[in-house]
Amino acid sequence: MLLSVNVFVSLDGVMQGPGNPDEDRSGGFDRGGWLVPYASARTNEIVASWFREAGAFLFGRTSYGLLGGYWPHVTAPDDPIAAKLNTLPKYVVSRTLTDDEAGWNPTTVLRGDFLEEVRRLKELPGGELQVHGSWKLVQALREAGLVDLYRLLQYPVVVGTGKRLFPEGSAPLALNADVVSMTLAPAAADGLSTGAYIVDGGRSTPVSG
């Protein structure tokens, strides 16, 4: 399986807490939910296209808990993200999580040398082994040379602080991609608009403000 990292990033490269103010407050981060005001049918389709390539998922412990606490409640039969997340094999890296605590079936907890386990998983046939969120895990996978593909959805917002996909001090890395051209103008409102995703009637719904 090809290993892909799929993340939402701000203009300044922040990937922390994009979908909810309480998603990840580690390090005193208080700017969560920054992508929600930009949710649209277009961004939804881009993300759905990522998930159509998935054959299995690989998570760090924190992202697994966050996603596992949300997506099982999304029961709309036509939601392509929930359909994949709730049915495909999931692997979570954790030394403390028990099988009973994992709960979001089918899930396998990777407790030993997880990099060797990932190498083994990559040798299996099928769709992509996808990583979503999981900042600390992404850093380890990149440093081990295990990432085959990055998919980024970049939002026109400067978060200013937080965990960055490529933090300061990262090893130099050249990537095959087109050069991106953007023309940006400051929004009328000052500051950072945020919001949250909630489950409403079995559907994942963005709520701004």
| CA distances for 18 relative to 8, 50, 54, 153, 155, angstroms | 7, 17, 21, 11, 10
In a domain, 171, yes or no: no
Whether 201 is in a domain gets the answer yes
Query: Residue 33 in contact with residue 25, Cβ under 8 Å?
Result: no
Q: Is residue 170 part of a domain?
A: no
Residue 139 lies in a domain: yes
Strand partners, 197: 206
**pLDDT of the residue at 150:** 98
Q: How many domains is the chain built from?
A: 1
- What is the three-class DSSP state of 127? coil
Q: For every one of its 209 residues, what pLDDT tens digit does the chain have, with 9 covering 90 and above?
A: 999 999 999 999 999 999 999 999 999 999 999 999 999 999 999 999 999 999 999 999 999 999 999 999 999 999 999 999 999 999 999 999 988 889 899 999 999 899 999 999 999 999 999 999 999 999 999 999 999 999 999 999 999 999 999 999 999 999 999 998 999 998 867 688 999 999 999 999 999 87
Helix 135-143 to helix 114-122 angle (10° resolution) is 70
Strands 128-132 and 149-155: unpaired
Tokens encoding 106: 């089918």
62 within 8 A of 24, measured Cβ to Cβ: yes
pLDDT of residue 163: 97
pLDDT of residue 191: 82
pLDDT reported for residue 74: 97
| Residues in a beta bridge with 99 | none
Which structural domain range is residue 76 located in? Answer: 3-157+182-208
Any idea what the CATH number is for the domain that residue 47 is in? 3.40.430.10
CA–CA dist 58, 26 (Å, integer) = 21
Q: Does residue 60 sit in helix, strand or coil? A: strand
Residue type (1 letter), 15: M
Contacts of 165 (CB under 8 A, 6+ apart): 7, 9, 13, 15, 135, 138, 150, 152
Contact (CB, 8 A) for 204 and 48 = no
173 found inside a domain: no
Cα–Cα distance for residue pair 67/132, rounded to 1 Å: 9
Matching residue, tokens 């580690």: 26
Structure confidence at residue 42 (pLDDT): 96
CB atoms within 10 A of CB 94: 18
Is residue 134, in this structure, part of any structural domain at all?
Answer: yes
Q: What is the pLDDT of residues 169-184, one digit of tens each?
A: 999 999 999 998 999 9
Residue 45 lies inside a defined structural domain of this protein:
yes
Residue 86 in tokens: 């709730």
Does residue 47 lie in a domain region? Answer: yes
Q: What is the pLDDT of residue 100?
A: 84
Tell whether pTM > 0.85.
yes
pLDDT score at 59: 97
